[in-house]
Amino acid sequence: MHPRDLAYILAGVAMSPVILRKSRGDWPARLGRTEALGPVAPGRLGRVLLHAVSVGEVNALRSLVPRLAREAEVVVSVTTDTGIARARALFAGDAPLATVVRYPLDFSWSVRRFLDAVRPDAVGLVELELWPGFLDACRARSIPVGVINGRLSERSFRGYHRFRRVVSPMFRSLAFAGVQDEAYAERFEAMGVKPTDCLLTGSMKWDAADPDAARNHAFVRTAAALAEELGIDRSRPLIVAGSTAEGEEKLLHETLVSLEQSGRVVPGTQLACAPRQTTRFDEAAAGLPGCVRRSARTPGAPGSTRFLLDTIGELRALYALADVVVLGRSFAPLYGSDPIEPAALGKATLIGPNVKDFEHAVGALERGRALRRVTREAIGGELASILSDPHGARAMGERGIACVRDHQGASERHAELLLSLLRAGSVADGGATRSGALAGVTP
């Protein structure tokens, strides 16, 4: 047994009260028992494994997977149950673009079984998910590993840097790190990635958003069906709050009640909330008195004004129905939510003051006057201002679409980095050499 395995076991025992409180299944796959894949089909460059932790990272792959699938076989591994479901919906349908599998726990035997079954020729870790057992096993098999859509938040950097002597070898082992902005690049380099292998590639989340969705008839029908099935009145204003956290549903409900009582918004203005965590659905419903829950699959009574999206994979369609979007996890003491999707749909968007995990995207949209950052105290006035000025709201939304278009292209850059690893077939110390894999790549 590797000493690392013993450390994992002891940590698991210590954390067992927390682990047992969460419902987890699919244990054979978590322990690396994945159905074996056959040889790579003739004419393909090789097999690329993309690892995405959860729903957010999976969504970021929407443009990259089809691009890679034109030249290589693609496997998408995911950690969480909700992420697995989302990946299957996106990539494993009637005309599958990728094989979707569960990412294993980092025990040496789990990783060994997993790699024996999947047999990747290159690996792309979405954003940052470094596990020493997995990286060691890839290095032993001469499988190059790179980070795509790389981000390293300030708080994560502080945690890694505290144990720099231990974790730096993992960063140094990377074939490349394709990162979203300069601040992330500085942190990756401080952790050990060579400056020549740390490449500014932008964020794939801009690519995953579709600024032409309003002209996509199938998507428009999907959104209309969601409104009908919930009982949303399309003739009345609708505020959509996405990825909400504890207390934010109640904040918005009470703010809207106050605005109606003061006559600052029209009576019957609607509010729909979509909590970030599935475990919060019942708590969120309590913050929206009398709400219609999507999971009930029945429309609310005529005149219903509070709605709860307690399902997975429908937030984009709900955003499409909004007159104004409020992004959650930004009024609670957390780190914000992704503003790109509502901006791409042309929606006037508000976000709270806590946005550390999305500073780059929020900053870009703020500079483009496509998003406003507001406090808890100011949220009511901003909602009333936007709802009373449809022309201004449309202009704000149009600026959001333009900003999204300006920032797209990262998926193609990441695809070229990964495909270059397959084309090169040259690996040294677990990472592709500049003269081999990354030569000629110009993000």
Q: Look at domain 27-202+409-432 and name its CATH class.
A: alpha beta
Beta bridge partners of 350: 326, 372
Residue 312, token pair as written in the block:
């997975």
CATH number corresponding to 213-406:
3.40.50.2000
pLDDT score for 434 = 31
Interior CA angle at 419 toward 417 and 424, to 5°?
Answer: 95
Tens digits of per-residue pLDDT, 377-416? 999 999 999 999 999 999 999 999 999 999 999 999 999 9
Tens digits of per-residue pLDDT, 1-42? 788 888 878 777 776 666 555 656 788 999 999 999 999 999
Beta bridge partners of 431: 428
Pinpoint the residues of the chain covered by CATH 3.40.50.2000: 213-406
pLDDT score for 357 = 86
Helix H, strand E, coil C: the string for the chain is CCHHHHHHHHHHHHCHHHHHHCCCCCHHHHCCCCCCCCCCCCCCCCEEEEEECCHHHHHCCCCHHHHHHCCCEEEEEECCHHHHHHHHHHHCCCCCCCEEEECCCCCHHHHHHHHHHHCCCEEEEECCCCCHHHHHHHHHCCCCEEEEEECCCHHHHHHHHHCHHHHHHHHHCCCEEEECCHHHHHHHHHCCCCHHHEEECCCHHHHHCCCCHHHCHHHHHHHHHHHHHHCCCCCCCEEEEEEECCCHHHHHHHHHHHHHHCCCCCCCCEEEEEECCHHHHHHHHHCCCCCEEHHHCCCCCCCCCEEECCCCCCHHHHHHCCCEEEECCCCCCCCCCCCHHHHHCCCCEEECCCCHHHHHHHHHHHHCCCEEECCCCCHHHHHHHHHCCHHHHHHHHHHHHHHHHHCCCHHHHHHHHHHHHHHHCCEECCEECCCCCCCCCCC
Task: Give 10-residue mean pLDDT values along the chain (443 residues).
Answer: 80 67 76 94 95 93 96 97 93 93 96 97 95 96 97 90 92 96 95 96 94 93 97 97 98 98 97 95 97 96 97 94 98 94 97 93 96 98 97 98 97 97 62 37 46
Residue 211, token pair as written in the block:
């600024």
Please report, for residues 29, 56, 103, 177, 235, the alpha-carbon distance to residue 125 in angstroms, rounded to integers and kept in the order given. Answer: 19, 13, 11, 9, 44
pLDDT score for 21 = 58
Radius of gyration of the chain (CA): 23
Confirm whether pTM is higher than 0.85. no
Pinpoint the residues of the chain covered by CATH 3.40.50.11720: 27-202+409-432
